[in-house]
Structure 1
Amino acid sequence: MESKIDWNSLALAVLAQYNVSAARLVFLGHSENLTFRIDTRDAENCKSFLLRIHHPIAQFRDRIWQQHAVIESELAWLTALHQDTDLVVPYPVQNLNGTFVTSVAIDHTSETLNCTLLNWVDGSPLDTEPTPTQAWRVGELMARLHQHASLWELPIGFTRPKYDCEQLYISLMELRSLVDTGTISITDFAVLETVVQRIAQVMTALEKTRQSWGLIHADLNENNYIFHAGEARAIDFSCCGFGYYLYDIASTLKHLMPGNRTSFVNGYQSVCQLPNEYQNMLEAFFIGATIDNFAFLALQPNEHNYLSQDIPYVTAKLCSRYLKGEPFLFKSR
């Protein structure tokens, strides 16, 4: 289907259902969604938007993420964040029918694609490792997202995927298929299997309360936070779902050096206090988030060479230390 679609024409067809006059469409990329920046032509009120066509690259992610109700729920949270807080987020724009999700038919087929338009968030991504102050700001940002999630009453019908024990075991099964192809050794898979069982025990023991479990961004890495006048801003909530707040923290810590991990946690705790034994739980979720990411990459054949190199490192350097009870998260490797 990819080669048969004129994405620019489709984008213009979507925009026709909004009160937006596009002066320029700038293609941004295609991964979980196909995205464009839309620059308006009104010189007196120049404004940009983000257009998302919810059609992933083949095998990129389970189709549940493209379902109307799931997308609508993401946008409901973004709307609430915009209305309830002073956080700058990419909140959605209503179409001419007064709804947030626009379905567009693909020419010469019976298939439709869900599309959304969001307000553009000004800011710049980092091209280097964050400074300790920047890491602190990102930690503070995540805490404020969690703080809102813990207080917000979910609308009826709200539905997003979960990052829980079941998902972790699904990720493990995705990786099992790479044993047959020789991408992962039987020995390394056995280590992953053991560590998943241990992490599942940690998850089971951690009670799901409003202080520990709720809506999380789930992908707040260097590609999905930007800075504007020193302020950290979160973008791309496409992966948001229900999970432990500690899982969300650990997912971001994967992308930070040990010193900055401490700064991030300090920034987080300036808003929300973590439990006393947070380091042990964070290390479990750190490896769990790593395994979930491995499973995500396993769906992309061009990433298999990377997996064949990185999985042995993770099992030898991180999983082995975790299983022995040796702290690793805030120490240099």
Structure 2
Amino acid sequence: MVWLDALNRDTSLTVPVPKRNQQGIYVTQVDDINCTMLRWVDGEQKQRFTSEQELKSTAEMTAALHYHASKWQPPSSFVRPTVNRERVQNALDLIKRQVQEGLFDAHDIQILEAAGERAMALLDTLPKNKMTWGVLHGDIVPPNIVFVDGVAHPIDFGACGFGPFLTDLAITFCFISPHARQQYIDWYGKCFPLPNDYVAQIEALFIALQLIGMRNALGVPESNNWLPAHVQKCASREFGKYASGESFLFTGTPFWK
């Protein structure tokens, strides 16, 4: 809520602005439920990107969020999850336990573990400075964007947290084919500086976020119907390449096909 208020005040981005209650705070407790109210953002939600203009605008919007985050100082009360080794390791440990339950193939999980270890090793080396690390949207994907004439407006900041800025590109790339990713990166890079090793960072974050996503899916009962196949595809594609030291960002068949 605090970041949304700052984005509305400091930028030209269209965001769901939070409203304060009569006590001047964002959260109102009704019985045991914490409630918030935000301004509605008009536009069209989509399940996937449908044009080059939508991709370009999303890249520019993401860069604008990161530019603001690089200048903004969150208050001490601003506590959010962080993308780091501990979170990825927690996800990997829970996924590994499902082999004993018979949910996942042991060989697939060995590949996931090898890829996860390589990703965590790289994450450990990333610098934390104002131009590379800060507050993230955390889930910039088509269902969390509303489009007006091809212009992207971010909504649903529920996954907001701290981490490398390229985390937001890595999660978006779960919805962008490999051949279109370099152009997306170029659009973003024209608006916010990229680190020299951006490919290595994005690949490590892509692996990390997939593991976190798998871990979150384990809490959904119906995930047993699709998650094993998803894990198998990831192991045979992006994770398999990454575990072998190969690059996957711009080549190959993505996990969703």
* TM-score (norm: length of structure 2): 0.94
Equivalent in the alignment of 1:19: none
1:177 aligns with 97
Equivalent residue in structure 1 for 2:161, among 227, 236, 241: 241
Note the 1:259-270 alignment, pairs <5 A.
259-270=179-190
The aligned residue for residue 322 of structure 1 is 242
Distance 1:130 1:267 in 2: 17
Which of the pair has the greater relative contact order for Cα pairs under 8 Å at 6+ separation?
2
Runs (5+) with no aligned partner, structure 1: 1-74, 106-111
Larger Rg: 1
Matches within 5 A, 1:20-59: none
CA deviation string 1:11-64 (max 9, x = no partner) = xxxxxxxxxxxxxxxxxxxxxxxxxxxxxxxxxxxxxxxxxxxxxxxxxxxxxx
1:119 equivalent in alignment to 2:39: yes
The superposition leaves residues 106-161 of structure 1 with CA deviations (integer Å, 9 ceiling, x where unpaired) of xxxxxx11000000001102355332221111011111101111100111321111
| C-alpha distance in 1 between matches for 2:142 and 2:101 | 32
TM-score w.r.t. the length of structure 1 is: 0.73
What is the alpha-carbon distance in structure 2 between the residues aligned to residue 301 and residue 186 of structure 1?
Answer: 21
Q: Greater CA deviation, 188-197 or 115-124?
A: 188-197
* Mapped partners of 1:128, 1:315: distance in 2: 23
Provide, for residues 42-97 of structure 1, a one-character-per-residue CA deviation record: whole Å limited to 9, x for no partner. Answer: xxxxxxxxxxxxxxxxxxxxxxxxxxxxxxxxx00000000000100001011122
- The equivalent position to 2:201 in structure 1, one of 257, 275, 281, is 281
> Which residue is equivalent to 2:213?
293
Aligned residue number for residue 26 of structure 2:
100
Alignment gaps of 5+ in structure 2: none
Name the structure 2 match of 1:159: 79
- For 2:96 and 2:153, locate their aligned partners in 1 and report how far apart those are by CA, in whole Å: 37
User: For residues 219 and 189 of structure 2, what CA distance do their matches in structure 1 show?
Assistant: 36
Comparing both structures, which one devotes a greater share of its residues to strand? 1
Q: Counterpart of 2:226 in 1: which secondary structure?
A: helix
1:49 — aligned with what?
none
Counterpart CA distance in 1 for 2:94 and 2:219 is: 8
Paired with 2:50 and 2:202, the residues of 1 have a C-alpha distance of 20
Looking at structure 2, the residues matched to 127 and 177 of structure 1 have their Cα atoms a distance apart, in angstroms, of 32
Equivalent in the alignment of 2:6: 80
The equivalent position to 1:214 in structure 2, one of 111, 134, 140, is 134
How far the C-alpha of 1:331 sits from its partner, in A, is 2.0
| CA deviation string 1:216-253 (max 9, x = no partner) | 01111110011113311000000100011112210111
Matched, 1:230 2:150: yes
Aligned to 1:187: 107
Q: State the partner residue of 1:56.
A: none
Q: Distance in 2 between matches of 1:117 and 1:142?
A: 24
Aligned length: 253
Does the 8 Å CA contact 1:125/1:227 hold for their aligned counterparts?
yes
**How far did residue 171 of structure 1 move?**
0.8
Aligned AA (1:202): L
The aligned amino acid for 1:79 is D
Contact kept in structure 1, 2:48 and 2:175, CA below 8 Å: no
Name the residue aligned to 1:136: 56
Query: Which of structure 1's runs of 4+ aligned residues deviate more than 6 A?
Result: none
Q: Cα RMSD (Å) of the superposition?
A: 1.4
Give the % identical residues.
33
Higher mean alpha-carbon deviation, 122-131 vs 299-308, is at 122-131
Residue pair 1:140, 1:271 contacting (<8 A) in 2 also: yes
Tell me, yes or no, if the aligned pair for 1:81 and 1:89 is still in contact at 8 Å.
yes
- 1:167 alignment partner, SS class: helix
Which of these residues, 221, 226, 245, is aligned with residue 306 of structure 1? 226
- 1:156 alignment partner, SS class: coil
